């Protein structure tokens, strides 16, 4: 698919063919704009596998996982079964995984382990999960005080990410939870710029500064928690319950979730939304058919902003390199 970019008034570069469910990255490959997230606290393998099979039948082709989610084996098994059964071909699906903080010393080995769990020869996208380095033994999502390394040598980490790319272990590399300040520092030494920055983004955390910055460098913004993370321990129903969202949904005979996803798509982002429920999976995909008008977008701009995933678990006054939330996000919060 040839993708034609056009400049938006906000300075964003948005793919004119985005509604066809693909957007072209700065390295030339395409990413489906609606993805299925596979993180869940329960991490039940059978539930995840069934969810992936349902998603494939509905039309999902973009799947997001990470070492720390523990969902790589279930996702990989479901995708392999689907490929063997002829439901989908490997080149038609887009799989993202992520480098955990304990693996910054050796991204190549970390990705090889992820590939072994997935049962795949490559992933389509490999992201640095957080801009923080943890001790090698930290294989759990919430680090203890003694688990932090005080210095992250991002130049060394990124060199390892580029090595993954050179070796064919992944088709693209990128980052997650990076501020524009941190990306700017990365670009000073990167031979290969990040193709993606995956961050929290939804109508109550609109990320305009970051979107503008990433647009200048053709770094695609991928939105996690595009509905505000309802159902997660740290998540909120504030987005889908907001009266503005509900009013727009009523106007278009859609749902607040579809409005939130359509808003993200209208800003040029891809959206990663987690559900293992068939009706919800269909509802989320239906956002592709919803076109918000200028009035809707202006109404959403009136919503009070609040970041939901603040990353408090990576902040402490003793061992973490980040002493405050503002430090972690470089005051972009």
Q: Show the tokens assigned to 146.
A: 């003694």
CA atoms within 13 A on the CB side of 96: 32
- Nearest to residue 164, comparing CAs of 204, 187, 191, 130? 191
SS3 content of the chain, % helix, strand, coil (to 5): 40, 15, 45
Distance, in Å, from the CA atom of 286 to the CA atom of 257, rounded to the nearest integer, reads 10
Residues 77 and 106: beta-carbon distance below 8 Å:
no
Residues 276 and 48: beta-carbon distance below 8 Å:
yes
Distance, in Å, from the CA atom of 202 to the CA atom of 175, rounded to the nearest integer, reads 18
> Three-state SS for 62?
strand
- Nearest to residue 270, comparing CAs of 25, 7, 38? 25
- Nearest to residue 195, comparing CAs of 213, 209, 175, 210? 175
Is 129 assigned a ligand-binding role in the annotation? yes
Distance, in Å, from the CA atom of 164 to the CA atom of 187, rounded to the nearest integer, reads 18
Q: Is 217 annotated as catalytic?
A: no
C-alpha of 302 from chain center: 25
Q: Show the tokens assigned to 85.
A: 């059964």
Distance, in Å, from the CA atom of 169 to the CA atom of 2, rounded to the nearest integer, reads 25
Q: Which of 5, 60, 69, 295 is catalytic?
A: 69
In the chain, count of helices (H) and strands (E)?
A: 12, 12
Task: Enumerate the β-bridge partners of residue 123.
Answer: 170
Q: Pairing mode, if any, of strands 94-99 and 196-200?
A: unpaired
Binding residues: 129
Which residue numbers are catalytic?
Answer: 69
Binding residues for substrate: 129
């Amino acid at each position: 698919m040839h993708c034609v970019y056009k400049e938006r008034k906000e300075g964003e570069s948005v793919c004119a063919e985005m509604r066809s469910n693909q957007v072209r990255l700065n390295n030339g490959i395409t990413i489906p704009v609606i993805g299925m997230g596979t993180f869940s606290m329960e991490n039940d393998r059978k539930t995840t596998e069934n969810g992936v099979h349902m998603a494939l039948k509905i039309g999902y082709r973009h799947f997001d996982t990470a070492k720390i989610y523990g969902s790589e084996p279930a996702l990989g098994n479901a995708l392999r079964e689907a490929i063997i059964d002829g439901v989908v071909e490997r080149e038609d699906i887009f799989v993202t995984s992520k480098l955990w903080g304990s693996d910054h010393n050796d991204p190549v080995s970390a990705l090889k382990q992820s590939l072994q769990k997935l049962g795949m020869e490559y992933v389509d996208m490999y992201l640095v999960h957080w801009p923080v380095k943890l001790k090698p033994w930290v294989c759990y999502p919430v680090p203890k005080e003694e688990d932090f390394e005080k210095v992250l040598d991002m130049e060394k980490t990124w060199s390892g990410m580029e090595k993954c790319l050179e070796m064919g272990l992944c088709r693209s590399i990128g980052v997650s939870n990076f501020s524009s300040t941190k990306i700017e520092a990365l670009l000073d030494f990167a031979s290969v710029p990040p193709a993606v920055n995956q961050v929290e983004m939804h109508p109550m955390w609109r990320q305009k500064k970051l979107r503008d910055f990433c647009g200048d460098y053709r770094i695609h913004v991928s939105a996690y928690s595009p509905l505000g993370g309802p159902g997660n321990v740290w998540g909120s129903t504030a987005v889908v319950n907001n009266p503005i969202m509900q009013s727009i949904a009523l106007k278009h005979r859609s749902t607040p979730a579809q409005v939130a996803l359509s808003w993200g798509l209208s800003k040029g982002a891809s959206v990663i939304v987690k559900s293992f429920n068939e009706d919800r999976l269909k509802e989320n995909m239906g956002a592709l058919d919803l076109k918000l008008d200028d009035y809707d977008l202006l109404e959403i701009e009136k919503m009070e902003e609040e970041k939901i995933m603040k990353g408090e678990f990576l902040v402490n006054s003793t061992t973490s390199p980040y002493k405050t939330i503002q430090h972690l996000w470089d005051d972009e919060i």
